[in-house]
């Protein structure tokens, strides 16, 4: 009788232990099998609710503007007009360069450059656990965005200078009306990059939010690299234009005052990059999509 | 059927509220409080299923690459399944459980919490809120379940 009771007890313990394991296995299998479809469905289903909350926030921000003095508003408008004029001049110059580029390509019989189309979007959702690693934006497939498109953000210059665009990350998940963006420090985000001064090229992979840096691997051993050297997109991928600033070379994470570059198994060199974008405070982004 | 609708409605509302709070930088595991309370007061099996489904839905909405939320929420409701829907013992226990739930929910991102002072401070706030919110959730869920006659103790134990 005692043996029978013991057997029942053991089988009950085994059953209690097996249930969570089976549930976990089922959840993981289901998650990875239907991930794409269910993620699209969930993101689209909840989009109106999050968008409504953002609209309320925006309305509140507009009302808060009315609390500012006329003098403050007038000086802000003046500053924006100045910035607008500078940006308009830059756009005009770029248009001329684009036309020149087109003409030269025709003369050299090179394939026509299709260019990029910019989609302006707002950050609608962030998780404190992955705050600087990823976020959800308010545009998706319906706006022409595709998985893998680069995402830029604005870096405002001090004292009313013209803002510049720097690379923030890449679209990794997409639904009809929203996209999930992995930032340059997210391990799921990779870019082909080149260094501004040495001209060397390598592969950039995020190191995670804790490190706050990204690793550039497969750099040539013989080139010389300096701290603070600018990291740019290489343009080897058709999706990402060349020459967009991503960040600057920084100290190796193992300790201060160490060289920025260490050897990767003796064949290549590797370096660490600090992102140019302040990833914690991104509110608006521009997604570059193929035309 | 009525319990199913009850769970669906509350899960959807709390998922939206929780993700909006998270987006504002506040981690308050409202879904976890609801599922823990509902697993003791309404139906442990249904709470477990809904915890899994809505936890995974939250992972999808947040763009997570692993279904941690689904697994953690399910793990939180499992004790009720094993205890066969026992009514929690005392208020002190509810306070303690409420303070512990945010710690369990934060387990998948434990490294970030340990290394980032802001995240650690946010977790402490969540624990304090949890100690208040879980007893409130227990009260609200059991009262509404009694009114709607979907509570565990309505039929078998003759209510309160």
**Among partner residues B27, B67, B74, which is closest to A128 by beta-carbon distance?**
B27
Name the residue of chain A whose CA is nearest to B58's CA: A42
Give B40 to chain A, closest Cα distance, Å. Answer: 18
**Among partner residues A20, A125, A209, which is closest to B23 by beta-carbon distance?**
A125
Mutation test of the interface with chain A: which of B62, B79, B80, B122, choosing the one with the most A Cβ atoms within 10 A? B62
How confident is the model over A53-75, as a mean pLDDT?
A: 87
End-to-end CA distance of chain A: 78
**Contacts A39 to B, Cβ<8 Å:** 60, 63
Q: Which residues contact B22 (CB under 8 A, 6 or more apart)?
A: A125, A126, A127, A128, B62
- Residue A149: the pLDDT is 93
How high is the mean pLDDT of chain A?
A: 84
- Residue A158: the pLDDT is 60
Token pair belonging to B107: 């387990």
Whether the per-residue pLDDT at B156 is higher than 50: the answer is no
Global confidence as pTM = 0.78
How confident is the model over A142-167, as a mean pLDDT?
A: 81
Lowest-confidence region among A37-51, A212-226, B113-127: B113-127
> Does B106 touch chain A if contact means CB atoms closer than 8 Å?
yes
Can you tell me the distance from the alpha carbon of A185 to that of A219, in angstroms, rounded to the nearest whole number? 19
* ipTM above threshold 0.90: no
Can you tell me the distance from the alpha carbon of A65 to that of B10, in angstroms, rounded to the nearest whole number? 36
Can you tell me the distance from the alpha carbon of A76 to that of A58, in angstroms, rounded to the nearest whole number? 18
**Contacts B20 to A, Cβ<8 Å:** 50, 53
- Residue A137: the pLDDT is 93
pLDDT in tens, A78-107: 989 998 999 899 999 989 998 898 888 888
Give B86 to chain A, closest Cα distance, Å. Answer: 17
Token pair belonging to A151: 């995402």
**Contacts A253 to B, Cβ<8 Å:** none
pLDDT in tens, B3-43: 889 999 999 999 988 888 887 777 888 999 999 888 888 88
Give B58 to chain A, closest Cα distance, Å. Answer: 8
Name the residue of chain A whose CA is nearest to B52's CA: A27
- Residue A258: the pLDDT is 55
- Residue B159: the pLDDT is 40
**Among partner residues A16, A24, A124, which is closest to B71 by beta-carbon distance?**
A24
pLDDT-derived band at B91 (thresholds 50, 70, 90) equals low
pLDDT-derived band at B117 (thresholds 50, 70, 90) equals confident
Check B109 against A31: CB less than 8 A apart: no
- Residue A5: the pLDDT is 63
> Does B115 touch chain A if contact means CB atoms closer than 8 Å?
yes
Can you tell me the distance from the alpha carbon of A263 to that of A255, in angstroms, rounded to the nearest whole number? 16
Whether the per-residue pLDDT at B87 is higher than 70: the answer is no
Question: Which DSSP letter does residue B43 get?
Answer: -
Check A23 against B74: CB less than 8 A apart: yes
pLDDT in tens, A158-202: 655 566 789 999 999 898 999 999 999 998 899 999 998 888 999
- Which position has the higher pLDDT, B112 or A171? A171
How high is the mean pLDDT of chain B?
A: 81
Give B53 to chain A, closest Cα distance, Å. Answer: 9
**Contacts B111 to A, Cβ<8 Å:** 210
- Residue B125: the pLDDT is 87
- Residue A85: the pLDDT is 92
> Does A282 touch chain B if contact means CB atoms closer than 8 Å?
no
- Residue B85: the pLDDT is 54
- Residue A227: the pLDDT is 85
Q: Which domains are present in chain B?
A: 2-151 (1.10.1760)
Whether the per-residue pLDDT at B160 is higher than 50: the answer is no
pLDDT in tens, A37-58: 888 888 888 888 888 888 888 8
Write out the H or E segment, with its range, that includes residue A284.
Answer: strand A284-290
How confident is the model over A131-146, as a mean pLDDT?
A: 91
Name the residue of chain B whose CA is nearest to A128's CA: B25
Q: Where are the beta strands (DSSP E) in chain A?
A: 116-126, 134-137, 150-155, 164-174, 179-183, 190-195, 201-206, 214-219, 230-233, 245-250, 261-264, 268-275, 284-290
């Amino acid at each position: 009788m005692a043996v029978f009771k013991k057997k029942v007890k053991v089988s009950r313990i085994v059953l209690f232990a097996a249930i969570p394991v089976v549930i976990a296995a089922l959840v993981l299998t289901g998650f990875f099998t239907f991930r794409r479809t269910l993620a699209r469905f969930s993101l689209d289903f909840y989009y109106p609710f999050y968008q409504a909350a953002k609209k309320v926030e925006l309305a509140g921000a507009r009302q808060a503007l009315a609390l500012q003095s006329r003098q403050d508003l007038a000086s802000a408008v003046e500053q924006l007009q100045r910035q607008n004029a500078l940006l308009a001049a830059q756009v005009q110059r770029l248009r001329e360069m684009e036309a020149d580029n087109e003409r030269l390509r025709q003369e050299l019989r090179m394939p026509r450059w299709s260019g990029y189309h910019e989609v302006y979007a707002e950050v609608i959702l962030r998780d404190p656990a992955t705050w600087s690693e990823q976020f959800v934006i308010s545009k998706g497939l319906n706006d022409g965005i595709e998985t893998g498109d680069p995402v830029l953000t604005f870096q405002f210059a001090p004292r009313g200078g013209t803002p510049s665009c720097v690379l923030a990350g890449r679209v990794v998940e997409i639904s009809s009306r929203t996209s999930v963006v992995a930032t340059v420090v997210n391990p799921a985000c990779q870019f082909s990059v080149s260094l501004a001064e040495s001209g060397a090229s390598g592969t950039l992979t995020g190191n995670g939010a804790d490190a706050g840096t990204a690793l550039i691997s497969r750099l040539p051993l013989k080139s010389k690299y300096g701290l603070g050297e600018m990291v740019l997109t290489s343009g080897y991928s058709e999706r990402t234009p060349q020459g967009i600033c991503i960040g600057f070379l920084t100290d190796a994470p193992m300790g201060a005052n160490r060289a920025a570059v260490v050897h990767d198994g003796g064949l290549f060199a590797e370096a660490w990059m600090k992102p140019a974008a302040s990833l914690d405070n991104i509110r608006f982004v521009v997604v570059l999509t193929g035309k | 059927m009525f319990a199913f609708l009850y769970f669906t409605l509350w899960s959807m509302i709390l998922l939206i509220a929780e993700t909006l709070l998270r987006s504002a930088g506040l981690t308050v595991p409202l879904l976890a409080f609801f599922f823990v309370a509902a697993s003791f007061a309404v139906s442990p099996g249904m709470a477990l299923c809904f915890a899994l489904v809505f936890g995974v839905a939250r992972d999808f909405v947040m763009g997570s690459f692993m279904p941690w939320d689904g697994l953690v929420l399910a793990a939180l409701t499992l004790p009720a399944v094993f205890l066969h829907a026992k009514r929690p013992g005392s208020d002190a226990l509810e306070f303690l459980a409420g303070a512990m739930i945010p710690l369990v929910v934060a387990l998948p991102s434990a490294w970030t919490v340990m290394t980032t002072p802001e995240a650690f401070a946010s977790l402490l706030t969540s624990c304090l809120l949890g100690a208040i919110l879980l007893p409130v959730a227990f009260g609200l869920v059991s009262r509404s379940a009694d009114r709607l006659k979907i509570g565990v103790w309505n039929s078998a134990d003759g209510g309160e």
